[in-house]
Amino acid sequence: MAEKKKGRRAYLEDYRKNERGQYEYAGRRYVCQGVDLGRRRARIGALCAGLAAAMAAGEDNTDFTYWDEETQTAFWADLKQAGAAFAQEIVDYCIAAGINAEGDSVAACAANWGFELEEDATVDDFFNTMVEQYEGDYVTLSGTETAGSSLFDLMEDYDAYTKGVETEETAPNVSGIERVDDYTLRITTTELDATAIYQMGLPIVPLHHYGDESLYDYENNKFGFEKGDLSIVKAKTSDPLGCGPYIFKEYKDGVVYMDANPNYYKGEPKIAHLNYLESAEGDKVNGIVAGTLDISDPSYSVDVAKQIAAENGYSEDEWDKFEGPVLTTKLIDYLGYGYIGINPNNIKVGDDPYSEESKDLRKAIATMIAAYRDEAIDSYYGSTASVINYPISNTSWAAPQTTDDGYQIAYSVDVDGNPIYTADMTAEEKYAAALEASLGFFEAAGYTVEDGKLTEAPEGAKLEYECVIGAGGSGDHPSFLLLKNVAEALEPVGFTLTVTDYANANDLYSSYQNGIAEMWCAAWQATADPDMYQLYHSEGSTNYYQIKSDELDELIMAGRASTDQAYRKSIYQAAMEIIMDYGVEIPIYQRSDALVVSSERMDVDSLPGDMTPYWGWEAEKENLELLQ
Amino acid sequence: MRNYIIKRIIFSIFILFFVTLTIYTLIRCLPASYVETMAMQLASKPGAKPYEEWVAQLNASYGLDQPILIGYFHWLSDFAHGNFGDSWRFTVPVIQKFREVIGVSFVMGAISLILELVIAIPLGVVAATKQYSKADYAISASALVGISLPTFFFATILKLIFSVKLGWFDTHGMVGRNFAQLDAMGKFLDQANHLVLPIATLTIVSVGSLMRYTRTNMLEVLNADYIRTARAKGLSEGKVIYHHAFRNTLIPLVTIVGGSLPGLFSGALITETLFSIPGIGFTSYQAMTAGDIPFTMFYLSFIAVLTLAGNLISDILYAVVDPRVRLS
């Protein structure tokens, strides 16, 4: 059978029927204390509680405490006609897609959809059969069987049933959410989760925008709207808020026009009008020089730095002078880091990707890559980027520091655990030492090494591997030179490293996310919290390294269960040691983002003093000033 | 004539069918995939489904799980019914986006075409009447320079000189920083200012070929017997050139110009992109790089229709201006 179309109503997907036939929210949770559970219980859904409650009550419900009979009758009639349309859409799809021939019966189409029906069955029968098979779970049915439209999209008066209803005792407020003062909110969680606070990136909306001030009386549990009626809020979900320092005016001709908000709680911004102009990368620096732009964020590299220096009247050698008469550059660490990944299922010895031999093979390659990082990163970024030694952004509080116990250069010990490098080595001596250490790892992995050359690979391993990189097809990537140098260094010893440069980034993504790539170059964008679950846990959704380690999983879960930074940092350092031992990720660089402003038109001192990835120039837009 | 036009239109429909089929096939095979990019973004979110699952789901949602031929016929059916769909990149109906951006492209194209005619034809005539003179060499050399300069290179040079070095114009964009605060006349002048460099680019890179075409045709006509006869009659040189020769030179020129009229609506992809002018060219570039199939299909089909219409107009105009030609 052909693959079915799946259009879904995302928020409805998050509701699941439980054993008691009630609908429960099963989506992502923000862990907070729901209600005063000791005395009261309430189930008031934010969006579709009415719909869920009506479905849970069933068509034969005779309890009209919360809605009247007329509404119930209308609801089920609407749902049934939607069901018939839903089934008809499947039939139409089967015919249109060529799965069934024109004129085939509903039963014939249903058969290809996985449902057995009588030959003279109608679309109503088809839908009823689906309902029976899903045991009345309309939400799952809709999400799974759809041929395009959600069942609920096909209802004619869906909105009429989405109003919140009280099905049991009501709660006057959510006790875990407290107003402390005009600008402070306290949320109490029911359990400890170090990442919870970062999941609460909630936009702040002033009362005058979202509600009715006459309906606000916090002490008496009135919050600016009639309880159970969120229509006033919903009506504004697609409106620009206008509660920040600037109010959106319009978007036209590639420009977003913003006007200063006179009611901004930190005070009216000093610049009356702020425009965001769509700009190509190549126009960002030139645009400031020409007076088209005042602030810009070009992709920073040594070439851009030299262009900025030239505009300021400096020589190329003075590219690291960040303040000049025309342009001023502010560097901010990028919230993320670049790395080279190795898929253990594709680079291994024998059948076991996690055996010591497999790890040694990967460490042999990683040792060479680690050795050549300094030259490549310096060439591409100069001193505005640094080589990192752990798979974590330097902007994180959990990033190991050189002064920490046990801190060491990535892949800087040989197969016996002895340091490869000494402090007085020249670059050439370091490369030679790295190659020697790499051969040691190859030998430990089972490779045959004769006269300093690899002559034979063990079973399951090869003498040549490929690394894919998204360098635009032109080698424009900080790791491109690095890989080329490593390939050249390994070629004389009989090991071929092929570097494939994809012009289309999607090819790169799919190659390593599908598990096809042997090695790949990419960058992670970090989150504020150093939680490693998504990347390295066995169940992590983007664990492209395919690490399956119980020990690592336990450490990651332990890190989540504490808010003690020192403890968590030690946990994550231990976790990173395991990751490095698997030889699946070589940390490469921590680069900087650049903010370039016009020294001629902007008051540079009005920018935030110490910008970070979490607090950029826009965080204090209200303070920006132009020179007169 | 009527039969000829009907026959040409029928042929054009066939050609359009194969052109759109080819375009659709190529777009479906392009590496730039809107769905893959979207899937990548969605899969990167904390707790998200894997990339592959997103790709499968989005492919199904956007109808890309169907074979190319079936997908094409679905598109063709919608297209024939005037349903161009919603742009994936701009999240508005394709036709709405088209209406928003076509105006500036038309204005740029029209002004550029007028300037092209005003510059190329007189200079071409002068070059022909003064063949092998200094003026002829200067005009021919300028024309060659114009023809040889790639648009992106010439536009970059203009930006460097007139924007970055001299500061006379903004480097990019269609409006200035204070546009919203200007009155109607101020807004008009501001936009006109921002169109100077793009129009100059369009005009200069295309004026050369028309100039050379005019010169060649004029030379051909000047060597014709009836020109010799006109001179033998004792007519003034001005009368010979501008009354007899020039009018006959116009015959092929009219077909060229007529054929380029539909091009006014197709925009200038490179120039608009380089100057960030939100016209149909720049918009279609954004759509193509994002893998926006509905908008790209609409735009390229639109171009195909314009091209076919342009060819038809050229042929008809040829018959209109030259009584010796009769189409059947």
ipTM computed for the complex:
0.79
Distance in Å, alpha carbon of B159 to nearest chain A alpha carbon: 9
Compute the nearest-CA separation of A1 from chain B (Å): 13
Separation CA A59–CA A82 (nearest Å): 15
pLDDT at B48 over 70: no
Q: What is the pLDDT of residues A100-110, one digit of tens each?
A: 888 889 999 89
Instruction: Give, to the nearest 10 degrees, the angle between helix A373-381 and helix A356-371.
Output: 40
Report the pLDDT averaged over residues A231-255.
82
Of B32, B63, B276, the CB nearest to A283: B276
**Which residues, other chains included, contact B82 with Cβ-Cβ below 8 Å and sequence gap of 6+?**
none
Residue bearing the bigger pLDDT, A229 or A569: A569
CA dist., res. B62 & res. A387, Å (int): 42
B163 closest CB neighbour out of A8, A286, A527: A286
B291: closest chain A residue by CA:
A506
**Each residue's pLDDT tens digit, B245-255:** 888 888 778 77
Residue with the bigger pLDDT between A144 and A296: it is: A296
Chain A hits for B177, CB-CB cut-off 8 Å, are: 275, 292
What is the nearest CA distance from B160 to chain A, expressed in angstroms?
8
Return the top range by mean pLDDT from A214-228, A480-494, B290-304: A480-494
| B262-271 tens-digit pLDDT | 777 777 888 9
Mean pLDDT value of segment B91-103: 91
B contact residues 251-310, partner A, Cβ 8 Å cutoff: 273-274, 276, 278
Task: Report the residue from B40, B46, B172 with minimal CB separation from A509.
Answer: B40
Quick one: pLDDT band at residue B240, thresholds 50, 70, 90? confident
The predicted pLDDT at position A93 comes to 84
- What does the pLDDT read at residue A575? 95
Residue of B nearest to A531 (CA): B46
Average pLDDT over residues B129-142: 89
- Burial-class residue A270 by CB neighbours within 10 Å (0-12, 13-18, 19+): middle
pLDDT above 60 for A21: no
State how far residue A308 is from chain B, nearest Cα, in angstroms. Answer: 13
Closest CA–CA distance from residue B72 to any residue of chain A (Å): 12
Task: Give B-chain residues touching A279 at CB under 8 angstroms.
Answer: 172-173, 276
Q: What is the value of pTM for the model shown?
A: 0.70
**A537: nearest CA in chain B?**
B47
Is residue A188 predicted with pLDDT exceeding 60? yes
pLDDT digits (tens, 9 = 90+) for B211-229: 988 898 888 888 888 888 8
User: Chain B residues with CB inside 8 Å of A291's CB?
Assistant: 167, 170
Residue B273: list chain A partners with CB under 8 A. Answer: 280
Q: For residue B27, give the nearest of B296, B269, B270 by alpha carbon.
A: B296
Q: Where are the domains of chain B?
A: 11-80, 94-321
Task: Determine whether the interchain pair A509/B36 forms a contact, defined as Cβ–Cβ distance below 8 Å.
Answer: yes
In angstroms, what separates the C-alpha of A388 from chain B's closest C-alpha? 23
Give the residue-averaged pLDDT of A353-357.
95
Please state the rounded mean pLDDT for residues B274-290. Answer: 90
Mutate to test the interface with A, among B177, B190, B193 (most CBs of A within 10 A): B177
Residue A521 pairs in a beta bridge with A340
Pair A368, A438: CB distance under 8 Å? yes
Which residues neighbour B194 within 8 Å (Cβ) at sequence distance 6 or greater? Answer: B169, B170, B173, B174, B175, B176, B275, B277
Residues 27-66 of B with CB under 8 A from A: 31-33, 36-37, 40, 43-44, 46-52, 55-57, 60-61, 63, 65-66
* pLDDT > 60? residue A212: yes
Angle at Cα A75 formed by Cα A74 and Cα A76, nearest 5°? 95
Locate A104 and state its tokens. 């085939």
How many A-B residue pairs are in contact by the CB < 8 A criterion?
Answer: 116
What is the sign, positive or negative, of the torsion defined by CA atoms of A148, A150, A151, A154?
Answer: negative
Q: By the CB < 8 Å criterion, does B91 face chain A?
A: no
Phi, psi angles (nearest 5°) of residue B138:
-65, -45
Whether A277 shows a pLDDT value over 90: the answer reads: yes
**Residue B177 at interface with chain A, using a CB cutoff of 8 Å:** yes
* Interface membership of B82 toward A (CB under 8 Å): no
- Of A556 and B146, which is predicted with more confidence? A556
Could you give the CA distance from residue A494 to residue A517 in angstroms, rounded to a whole number? 21
B170 touches chain A (CB under 8 A): yes
A257, A292, A504 member nearest B180 (Cβ): A257
The pLDDT assigned to A60 comes to 82
Is the pLDDT assigned to residue B272 strictly greater than 80?
Answer: yes
Where is pLDDT greater, at A453 or B289? A453
For B94-321, CATH number out of 2.40.50.140, 1.10.3720.10, 3.40.190.10, 3.20.20.70 equals 1.10.3720.10
Nearest to B200 by CA among B299, B277, B303, B307: B277
Q: Which of B37, B60, B173 is nearest residue A4 as measured by Cβ atoms? A: B60
Q: How far is A494 from chain B, CA to nearest CA, in Å?
A: 34
Helices and strands per DSSP (H, E), number in chain B: 14, 0
Check whether B32 has a pLDDT greater than 70.
no
Percent of chain B with pLDDT strictly greater than 90: 30
- Chain B residues close to A292, C-beta within 8 Å: 163, 170-173, 177
Residues of chain B contacting A545 with CB distance shorter than 8 Å? none
Question: B50, A513: Cβ pair inside 8 Å?
Answer: yes
Beta-carbon contacts of residue A166 (< 8 Å; ≥ 6 apart): A42, A44, A66, A228
Residue B327: which pLDDT band, with cuts at 50, 70 and 90? low
The residues with which A339 forms a beta bridge, in sequence order, are A522, A587
pLDDT in tens, A119-160: 899 999 999 999 988 888 888 788 778 887 888 888 888 777
Q: Does B105 touch chain A (CB under 8 A)?
A: no
Are A400 and A390 spatial neighbours (Cβ–Cβ below 8 Å)? yes
DSSP reduced 3-state for A187 = strand
Does B181 contact A273 at a Cβ distance shorter than 8 Å?
yes
Query: A8-17, A465-474, B172-181: which has the minimum mean pLDDT?
Result: A8-17
pLDDT reading at B194 higher than 60:
yes
DSSP string of A342-387, one letter each residue: E-TTTS-BTTBTTSHHHHHHHHHHHHHHHHTHHHHHHHHHGGGSEE
Lowest mean pLDDT among A331-335, A353-357, A385-389: A331-335
Residues of B in contact with A96 (CB under 8 A): 70, 74
CB contact under 8 A, A5 and B174: no
CB-based contact B197:B164 (threshold 8 Å): no
- A36 pLDDT higher than 50: no
What digits encode the pLDDT tens for the residues B155-180? 999 999 999 999 999 999 999 988 98
Contacts of B63 in chain A (CB under 8 A): 5
At A41, the pLDDT band (50, 70, 90 cuts) reads: very low
